Amino acid sequence: MIGNVDSWTSDNISGWAADEAHLDEVIFVELRINGNISCRIPARLYRTDLEQAGFGRGKHGFSFDPRPFLIEGTQYAELNIVGQNITLGAKHVDLADPDPHELFEISQRRWKGDEPPPGLTWGHLMTGDSFVDTLQVHWRPSNDTRMLEIGPGYGRILSTLLQRQIPFRSYCGVEISLARTVRLSEQFTDERIRFENGDINTHEFSEPADVVISSSTFVHLYPDCSKALKNIRSQVSKNAVIALDFMDPAHHRGMGFHDGGTYVRYYSRDELDQIFTESGYAVISMPEFVIGIGNVGGVIGEIFGLMVIARPCG
């Protein structure tokens, strides 16, 4: 194993790590704060210098913002290669109280970008079949339905709706990434379909929605999804159906920043019921389902989810 920290500043740690005997394998580095593991980052970014130096295809770089993983005060931080007694860099870090606005911006940075489609769903392309199967148990589509999807990504759920010829009057996808908004608009040319670039925390819909759907999005809203839920509540029709998925609390717990800045919050059933109720909804059901097959840590496995079915109240 070999590697190096090339730069360590208050808002970025970058470098590279590789296994010289197995250059096709992805090496992970871990940031330890006062001896405790704070995050693990894959060293798989492409770097021309590494390829020219003979390190395979050059995909052994890493770069991430350490601020979400630090706490107020002076700390000893070190970056190690996972599973090896190899320290790439270490230093004392003095951090003031984290700025919530700054953390909010960090939480959105990845999703405003334009990573390859598999990266949006655990490294593996998925269909929307399991989501639509669960949705249809609680919702009866019609030719008058105005649909809204938050975070359509690469269009997996919309593709399933179209393939199954599920009726709707209009579909609007609100996507935070401008690049994905443009690409989706070019991909789906049905006149009933449109995409809008915006942040669901504040975005104003062009028309009220009768059904609101979202998959693998609300778990990434910082610090929680209450602001987005309230914004949606103010713009849906009286009898709207809301169907949003979350990670199953039986398999996942906690919250925090991972993989260099990806914020994830895992909600218990009680927390979901409370946050939906306080945001102006009546929760109808919380069925378990399998979101899909995803590539997690190099191993293909089932991603277990929980779908919240709710309606506006009051």
Q: pLDDT class for 95, splitting at 50, 70, 90?
A: low
- Residue 206 and residue 89 share a domain: no
Instruction: Decide if 107 is inside a domain.
Output: no
pLDDT of residue 212: 98
d(CA 282, CA 311) in angstroms, rounded, equals: 5
pLDDT for 18-27, tens place per residue? Answer: 999 999 888 8
d(CA 37, CA 314) in angstroms, rounded, equals: 45
Q: CATH no. for residue 56?
A: 2.60.40.10
Q: pLDDT class for 96, splitting at 50, 70, 90?
A: low
In the block, which residue shows the tokens 């218990």?
Answer: 268
Q: Mean pLDDT across the stretch 176-188?
A: 97
Q: Quick count: other Cβ atoms within 10 Å of Cβ 118?
A: 14
- Residue 121 and residue 94 share a domain: no
pLDDT for 260-306, tens place per residue? Answer: 578 888 898 999 999 999 999 999 999 998 886 543 443 335 677 89
Alpha-helix residue ranges (DSSP H) falling in 140-286: 156-163, 178-187, 226-233, 269-278
Q: CATH no. for residue 192?
A: 3.40.50.150
Q: Quick count: other Cβ atoms within 10 Å of Cβ 105?
A: 13
Q: What is the largest CA-CA distance in the chain?
A: 65
The least confident of 74-88, 190-204, 215-229 is 74-88
Mean pLDDT estimate for the chain: 88
Domain extent at residue 173? 117-312
Report the domain count for the chain. 2
44 pLDDT higher than 90: no
pLDDT of residue 299: 39
d(CA 107, CA 256) in angstroms, rounded, equals: 10
pTM of the model: 0.77
With H, G, I as helix, E, B as strand and everything else as coil, classify residue 73: strand
CA angle 32, 252, 14 (to 5 degrees): 30
Q: Mean pLDDT across the stretch 219-228?
A: 94
Strands 288-296 and 299-312: antiparallel
- Residues of the chain with pLDDT > 70, as a percent, come to 92
98 pLDDT higher than 80: no
Instruction: Decide if 110 is inside a domain.
Output: no
